Structure 1
Amino acid sequence: MSLSGKVAIVTGSGRGLGLAYARELARQGAAVVINDVDAAVAAEAVRVIESDGGRAAAVVAPVGSSEVAKQLVQAAVTEFGRLDILVTNAGILRDKSLLKMTDEDFDAVINVHLKGTFTSAREAFGYFKENGIAGRIITIGSPTGQRGNFGQTNYAAAKAGIVGMVRTWALEMKKAGVTANAVIPVAATAMTKTVPYFQKAVEADERGEAMPAFFRHDLGFGTADDVAGLVAFLASDAAAGITGQAIGAGGDRLQLWTHPEAAATEYREGGWGYQDLVENFGKLFGDKLQSVGEEFLPLPEELQPATAQPEPAAPAKVG
């Protein structure tokens, strides 16, 4: 198996996408440290991996602090003798539009997603460097971090920040032979269940059926397992030359996201004053302004969400 003898930490891996990543890493031969804030959920994830024939242990703690990052690395070393792979998947949502978002909403999401990725990666890299291990750091981004999304100021900031950190770490970790990449998943989750646009896809997945081709191919939207293979690949020796990248996976689609580049460039001797911009900006850049947010294709008629049915009348009281 490609990851035989390796040891991985996957944060936020009690269920959903994180569990899918952990199970695939275990299938490929890695021992896995499961992490979740719910002890029962973490224990069940360990049981599932062991029933698949893999090896797993659990750390029940919320990521974010340096103390928890140390606890995760120490658990890998204590339980399995070493650490080779870190997948930073843990995350929460506190979606609200800007004027309704509180400091607490913002701080909570940043602490788990962004700081949790930072502290975990710092601790893992320290271990890799000290022990001469060409480790793998795989962070989890989001299309929201790439393009923005209504009501997700905190989440967009965290996910964009994660990709920025990955690009920086690719430079800082290169000499040590450690790679750092971001995976951008597009998959059915608890969040997408609430979006009518994805209703038919999620319903098919819950029935154990293949999602309609429109979702899998045209939208690149699939299951957690569709993303897990990319995570395991980036954790392997086969991906030793891949670092600093943001790679999307979903359904039948694999995408390499570009690093931000200038879409258009103009020069003016002496620079650009206010009046110069008033007179020239529109004609120079007006047709090159960048779009924001995800732009979805229209749903085919047969995949339209079911129309809301009227509530049934309340039964008559008896007695």
Structure 2
Amino acid sequence: MSALSGKVAIVTGSGRGLGLAYAQELARQGAAVIVNDVDQAVADAAVATITEAGGQAAAVVIPVGTTEAAQALVKGALDNFGHLDILVTNAGILRDKSILKMTDDDFDAVINVHLKGTFTCVREAFAYFKENGVAGRIITIGSPTGQRGNFGQTNYAAAKAGIVGMTRTWAIEMKKAGVTANTVIPVAATEMTRTVPYFQKAVEAQDRGEAMPDFFRKELGFGTAEDVAGLIAFLASDAAANITGQAIGAGGDRLQLWSHPEAIESAYNDGGWTVEALTAGYPFADKAQSVGEKFPELPAELQPEVAK
């Protein structure tokens, strides 16, 4: 028996990229999968890759965000496969701009798909789980940007940080029903990273069908979409029944457990901290926390080639 035999999963945004890798691995482990995309041809092609490999899949073509879309996805699982056990909320878009260039539409579009789409889909799935006594699995998708921040991604950082916050809350609310909720933070080669010179040698190796250099896979924890899919399938399985409320990073050969935000320093002042007291001696002046991701310098042999 495979780890997910008899289970049914929904994976939003699974027509290509990371979402497709998640759907394929869930199917390989025995789950029937609802593939979701906004493009019928892309969704149908994704379903074909699963069924041709001996798995079960069906497509629901709809943009996530609304309650109606969430209802259509759950209905698709029930109509095609009779029940639902797993939800992976992967769907997302990017509208990267620095804050003065970011419009209301840029902000709202990203929040609607990532944050509201996650909320509406989880709400609908959990309602089904609770009503039917299903010890379901909720797996949301975060990002290092949501954990650390990144230039030009106000909307995306807000959405991804919000997803982790919601997931921790759901782990508390859903515990009594036996439903787990965890966030996966992937680091993998995608169409976005293809254009970043820093990752050039890793992407070129992948395109040749070769393993990425150890520097990327180990030190950076950067690999393929398939490297993340194993964690998704594990968290969806019965083996992960006691894991909930966690933010877990996966990429290349590396697995990471992200901490919950915690106060790291405390200071006290008789009468409280007035402006005068803080001006006289701000207690955390030498303890400022870093922001953004810091990448180590590439080894000489992995430096990107400069076009001539």
In 1: Cα distance, 2:236 partner to 2:220 partner = 26
Matched-pair contact (CA < 8 Å) for 1:222–1:252: yes
The residue number in structure 2 matching 1:295 is 294
Give the C-alpha shift of residue 308 in structure 1.
2.1
Aligned equivalents of 1:70 and 1:206: distance in 2?
38
d(CA) in 1 for partners of 2:207 and 2:119?
34
Corresponding residue number in structure 2 for 1:241: 242
Does 1:128 pair with 2:126?
Answer: no
Which residue of 2 is the match for residue 113 of structure 1?
A: 114
One-letter amino acid matched to 2:267: E
Match of 1:255 in 2: 256
**Matched-pair identity in %:** 77
* Larger radius of gyration between Structure 1 and Structure 2: 1
Instruction: Tell me the equivalent position of 2:49.
Output: 48
SS in 2 for 1:302: helix
Question: 1:79-101: per-residue Cα shift (whole Å, max 9, x none)?
Answer: 00000000000000000000000
Q: Give how far 1:279 is off.
A: 1.1
TM-score by length of 1: 0.96
Is residue 155 of structure 2 the alignment partner of residue 154 of structure 1? yes
1:205 equivalent in alignment to 2:206: yes
- Give the number of equivalent residue pairs: 307
The whole-number CA distance in structure 2 between the counterparts of 1:141 and 1:133 is 25
Q: Deviations over 1:204-244 (max 9, x none)?
A: 11111100000000100000011000000000000001111
Structure 2's unaligned 5+ residue stretches are: none
Q: State the match for 2:67 in structure 1.
A: 66
CA contact (8 A) 1:263 1:288 kept: no
How far apart are the structure 2 equivalents of 1:152 and 1:195? 16
CA offsets, 1:41-99, max 9 Å, x none?
00000000001110000000000000000000000011000000000000000000000
2:42 maps to amino acid: V
Which letter maps to 2:20?
L
Q: Which residue is equivalent to 1:305?
A: 304
8 Å CA contact retained: 1:139, 1:162: yes
Give unmatched runs, 5+ long, in structure 1. 310-319
Q: Partner amino acid for 1:54?
A: G
Compute the displacement of 1:286 (Å). Answer: 1.8
2:193 aligned partner, one-letter code = T
**Could you say what secondary structure the match of 1:208 adopts?**
coil
1:277 Cα deviation (Å)? Answer: 0.5
1:179-201 CA-to-partner distances (Å, cap 9, x unmatched) read 00000000001111111101110
Question: Which residue of structure 1 aligns with residue 95 of structure 2?
Answer: 94
- TM-score, normalised via structure 2 length: 0.99
Structure 1 stretches of 4+ moved >3 Å: none
Whole-Å separation in 1 of the counterparts to 2:211 and 2:285:
43
* Aligned mates of 1:196, 1:263 — CA distance in 2: 36
**Match for residue 273 of structure 1?**
274
